[in-house]
Amino acid sequence: MPFEPSIFAPDPAARRPIIAILEAALAAVDPRSAVLAVLRRHGDELTIQDQSYDLRRYRRVVVVGAGKAGAPMSQAVEEALGDRITAGLVVTKTDHSAPTRHIEMVEAGHPIPNQAGVEAGKRILEMAADATADDLVIALLSGGGSALLEAPAGDLTLDDFQGLTNALLACGATINEINCLRKHCSALKGGQLARAVAPATLVTLVLSDVVGSPLDVIASGPTVPDTSTWQEAWAIVEKYDLAEKLPARVVQRLRAGLAGEVADTPKPGDPVFVSAHTLVVADNRMAAEAACAQAQALGFSPLLLTTYVEGDAEEIAKVAVALAREVQATGRPVAAPACIILGGETTVTLSKDHGLGGRNQQLALAAALRIQGMHGVTIVSLATDGTDGPTDSAGALADGETVARGAALGLDAASHLRRHDAYPYLRAVNDLLVTGPTQTNVNDLIFVFVK
């Protein structure tokens, strides 16, 4: 079982089926299985879903990519193509690597980019530039790719990118907003890897970590047309009042782009995408539907309400609790025993002197305060990558006794929530979900269980 056993300590009988449902969701978006489901080789014919590629016409097959799921995705491609792979370099998060034979794995920093990611980005750009019309390039992209793979544009430095990322994470910007600015400060993102690869044939396999799976946002869309603009990038700076908080060179570049002094990213219709094809192999909805199926098999009445959740974690916690109360009061939108599932990704705006936690832990602790004393209600918030914020937790669950268990230990749940310090509280009451790296990443899942 991937979940740390301590999660069962408060109520094993109630929590065992809940954990089985979470496990089913994670299994459904296993990166290796997802890639092998769409990629097949028969002799010299490579089939990727409904597209066929005659390997005899390609001088080289090159594999590049980035993301938390990079290692199992690379292993799947190696399993299918073997020594037909000429060269490969894929960047993944520290401690997320795995043995590969033909594709070099590089570990880099996340969520803050580091030098290893910048050096890997430069090498991948060089590999892309070497590609010709006789080459096939396969790009493997998954959640975390934006931070892990970087090649700063113009005179920008790693320090500039770190400052940009820190400022965006601290202000509560959405992943779409974060990636919009990243793309306009990068030599790789926003379709620019595709521009470097052209005229080679380019196939991108994507494990989506973005609500709705917009291809130009996932890993900042290095191989697809970019729909964002300099104007949108600057609007985000103004929205969060970042002009004085971002590194000076970043602001200078954004202002120059806004003035038309720097070329924008390649847009739809650009000829660099003529030989480029992209396929999403797994996403949040796939995980949520698998959870629904498992919940039904275990006797719950399941309902997948949405996979488009966005917004502040504490506000979404209020929605989750409201759903639980509605089920208990009226049997709507589904009768008990209920398992209501919401997918997406919340945000947290950190306090100045914040503690330790993540958005899923913050959501669970906020829910705990609202359901204290309620019987038969459990709220779960899970980061499918196994890493919620800068912690070793994948999220947390909360029930009607979470606050009382903390109080018995002398802990104040409201104080921990206010200080964005959910991790130590939830750890003390055995409500943390700990899996270790899951090697996948398809956003978050929120569950409302009502007996």
Per the CB < 8 A criterion, the answer to whether 395 and 388 are in contact is yes
Question: What does the pLDDT average to over 90-96?
Answer: 93
pLDDT of 246 strictly over 80: yes
pLDDT at 48: 95
402: left (phi over 0), alpha (psi -120 to 50) or beta: alpha
Question: What does the pLDDT average to over 53-82?
Answer: 96
Strands (E), 216-288: 276-282
Whether CATH 3.40.1480.10 fits 5-28+285-450? yes
pLDDT at 281: 97
pLDDT of 351 strictly over 80: no
**DSSP annotation string for 363-430:** HHHHHHHHHTT-SSEEEEEEETTS--SSSS--EEEEETTHHHHHHHTT--HHHHHHTT-HHHHHHHTT
pLDDT at 217: 85
CATH of domain 31-151+186-228+265-282: 3.40.50.10180
Structure-derived torsion over alpha carbons of residues 405, 411, 417, 420, reported in degrees to the nearest 10? -120
Q: State both tokens at 212.
A: 């709705």
User: Among 236-240, 343-347, 348-352, 438-442, where is mean pLDDT lowest?
Assistant: 348-352
pLDDT of 287 strictly over 80: yes
Q: How sure is the predictor about 327, in pLDDT bands with cuts at 50, 70 and 90?
A: very high
User: How many beta carbons lie within 10 A of that of residue 6, not counting itself?
Assistant: 12
Domain boundaries, the chain: 5-28+285-450, 31-151+186-228+265-282
Report angle CA 112, 419, 375 to the nearest 5 degrees.
Answer: 110
pLDDT of 175 strictly over 80: no
Q: Percentage of residues in the chain with pLDDT exceeding 90?
A: 88
pLDDT of 184 strictly over 60: yes
Question: What does the pLDDT average to over 146-175?
Answer: 90
Per the CB < 8 A criterion, the answer to whether 419 and 353 are in contact is yes
Q: How far apart are CA 231 and CA 181, in angstroms?
A: 11
pLDDT of 1 strictly over 70: no
pLDDT of 208 strictly over 60: yes
Q: How sure is the predictor about 179, in pLDDT bands with cuts at 50, 70 and 90?
A: confident
In terms of DSSP H, where are the helices of 29-183?
A: 31-38, 70-81, 115-130, 145-148, 158-171, 175-183
Per the CB < 8 A criterion, the answer to whether 239 and 231 are in contact is no
User: Among 165-174, 226-235, 323-332, where is mean pLDDT lowest?
Assistant: 165-174
Q: Which of 26, 17, 20, 16 has its CA nearest to residue 436? A: 26
Q: What is the pTM of this model?
A: 0.85
pLDDT at 168: 92
Q: How sure is the predictor about 2, in pLDDT bands with cuts at 50, 70 and 90?
A: confident
Which residue's entry shows tokens 């890993």? 219
Per the CB < 8 A criterion, the answer to whether 65 and 140 are in contact is yes
Please provide the average confidence, as pLDDT, over all residues in the chain: 95
Q: State both tokens at 301.
A: 């009445």
Q: Which of 162, 275, 276 has its CA nearest to residue 222? A: 276
> 377-383 and 444-450: which strand pairing?
antiparallel
Q: State both tokens at 38.
A: 């769409």
Digit-coded pLDDT (tens) for 105-143: 999 998 888 999 999 999 999 999 999 999 999 999 998
Q: How sure is the predictor about 159, in pLDDT bands with cuts at 50, 70 and 90?
A: very high
Q: How sure is the predictor about 392, in pLDDT bands with cuts at 50, 70 and 90?
A: very high
> 87-93 and 104-108: which strand pairing?
parallel
> 201-207 and 276-282: which strand pairing?
parallel
Question: What does the pLDDT average to over 36-64?
Answer: 96
Report angle CA 362, 94, 98 to the nearest 5 degrees.
Answer: 120
Q: How sure is the predictor about 202, in pLDDT bands with cuts at 50, 70 and 90?
A: very high
